[in-house]
Amino acid sequence: MNEFENKKIGIVGFGRSGQNVAKILKARGAEVFVSENKNMNKDQLKIIADYNLDYEIGHSDKLLSNEIIVISPGVDNNIDIIKKAKLLKIPIFSEIEIASRFLKNKIIAITGTNGKSTTAFLTYQLLKMNGKKAYLGGNISPGKSLSEIVIENPPKEAIIVVEISSFQLENISKFSPNIGMITSISDDHLDRYNSFQEYLNTKVKLLKSVKKDGYKILNYDNQFLKGQLDNNTFFVSIKEEIENGGYLKDDKIFLKIYGNELIYDTQKFNLVGIHNKQNLIFALLSTFLISEKEIKIKSEDLSQLKGMEHRLEFVGEIKNKKIYNNSMCTNPEAFKVSVESLGQEQIVIVGGRNKNFDIETIVETIKDYAQSVVIIGEVKDLLKEKLLQKGYNKFYLANSLDEAIKISLEIPEGKIVNFSPGFSSFDMFKDFVDRGNKFKEIVKKYERPI
């Protein structure tokens, strides 16, 4: 008998995570009730029918008759029904918490405002290069939820690499990875949190969850993480030499761990930007530590590493302009890092929905690096006004992504078109993946036939 057998469990939100956690709980004898706020599509309804799940559209008090509530990452903890559940002291868990209880594998968990997806993907690739069986999942998009990995029944020796959002960390209790990494912390999701401190506290929950004999890897260059010193903590820096962790110097990565020193030349590493070298240091450190300090990876192997879709993804060349899809860029810090990495001969397509953060970083980065900028989305008028206040007038306004791409290709200067929105996608698109895919479809339309 498992701890969820015969338990009444309510699942709030029936997207990818909700669907898969429903499957694993139902398969283990739980009585599952699904509460979804939107009308379901045919695929969702098929799962409801196939697994004989009770469900509702709209969150009613029926949810409160459950013994446990599992909340999907896209669902806000502050909605009324969850507030009621908390008052009734009903245990509330994230999907990642439930799924982890069915795994006996070593887990590397990665969070951070920026860099977490690429770091997770690089870690996954390096583990496989190092002869390990590895799985990649969690909040990574496109990718698998942790519950989906449970369904695949990974062998015990496999290592699970999990990307975790702050939303998922809100509702963990027994989740306990072998390695916890925080790649960065900066303003984001302030539409969901009452303050930056609340957001920071949620991210730092990951460090408290790491196993006693596990490891923590943090960004030494980040003012909010530098002071998070604890047992078995290692740091990553691209700005200065450090003794306990990894750093970048003269295009080489130096790893210093427990008296071991490893050096990697990054000249053959193909991902664009110094921030990706930082991501690589995180990935190398975690691979070394989880592999019990046995590592077969050499500098030349770094050329095999691939980047992720929608993260400074090269998508083609039109009119002698190289075009990059960076739709994952949804906050000022990501915008700054991405734009700086491509130099000063670029046209930047920017805009979307503001998540209540200060856009001064975006304005200054445009002023310093963009030859021209094309602005789209809800933030259009605000960004135009802020740029004019700074004396920057090399901007164009577009009513659609298609129009923005057309304008950017007609601008005479610029060797690069960089689609780094810097804002949320929800004003015009389903999510950043939808936005990035639409961008690539439109670019394809403008490419000359060969």
Of the pLDDT bands very low, low, confident and very high (cuts 50, 70, 90), residue 450 is very low
The domain spans of the chain are 8-90, 97-304, 313-446
- Looking at residues 103-132, what average pLDDT do you find? 96
- Looking at residues 258-280, what average pLDDT do you find? 94
pLDDT on residue 204 = 86
**pLDDT of 388 strictly over 90:** yes
Residue-wise pLDDT for 399-410, tens only, equals: 999 999 999 999
Mean pLDDT, the chain, as a whole number? 93
How is residue 391 annotated by DSSP?
T
Spatial distance between the Cα atoms of 176 and 206, rounded to a whole number of angstroms: 9
- Supply the CATH classification number for the domain 8-90: 3.40.50.720
For residue 118, say whether it is annotated as part of any ligand binding site: yes
For residue 408, say whether it is annotated as part of any ligand binding site: no
Spatial distance between the Cα atoms of 15 and 232, rounded to a whole number of angstroms: 36
pLDDT on residue 73 = 84
pLDDT on residue 223 = 82
Spatial distance between the Cα atoms of 403 and 400, rounded to a whole number of angstroms: 5
Question: How would DSSP label each residue in 106-147?
Answer: EEEEEE-SSSHHHHHHHHHHHHHHTT--EEEEES-SSSB-HH
pLDDT on residue 351 = 97
Instruction: For residue 16, give every residue at least 6 positions away whose Cβ sits within 8 Å of its Cβ, in sequence order, or none.
Output: 145, 148
Half-sphere exposure of 341 (CA within 13 A, CB side): 21
**Bridge pairing between strands 92-94 and 370-376:** unpaired
For residue 115, say whether it is annotated as part of any ligand binding site: yes
Contact 214, 180 (CB under 8 A): yes
For residue 116, say whether it is annotated as part of any ligand binding site: yes
User: Any idea which fold 97-304 has?
Assistant: UDP-N-acetylmuramoyl-L-alanine:D-glutamate ligase (3.40.1190)
For residue 203, say whether it is annotated as part of any ligand binding site: no
> Which of 312, 428, 423 shows the shortest CA–CA distance to 359?
423
pLDDT on residue 200 = 82
Lowest mean pLDDT among 225-234, 305-314, 438-447: 225-234
Inter-CA distances, 289 with 54, 130, 180, 441, Å: 44, 12, 11, 41
Question: How would DSSP label each residue in 256-286?
Answer: EETTEEEEEE-TT--S-SHHHHHHHHHHHHH
pTM for the structure as a whole: 0.89
pLDDT on residue 58 = 94
pLDDT on residue 336 = 94
User: Any idea which fold 313-446 has?
Assistant: Protein-Tyrosine Phosphatase; Chain A (3.90.190)
Of the pLDDT bands very low, low, confident and very high (cuts 50, 70, 90), residue 146 is very high
pLDDT on residue 423 = 96
Identical topology for domains 8-90 and 97-304: no
Residue-wise pLDDT for 173-232, tens only, equals: 999 999 999 999 886 555 667 788 888 887 888 999 999 999 999 999 988 887 766 778
> Which of 199, 161, 156 shows the shortest CA–CA distance to 180?
161
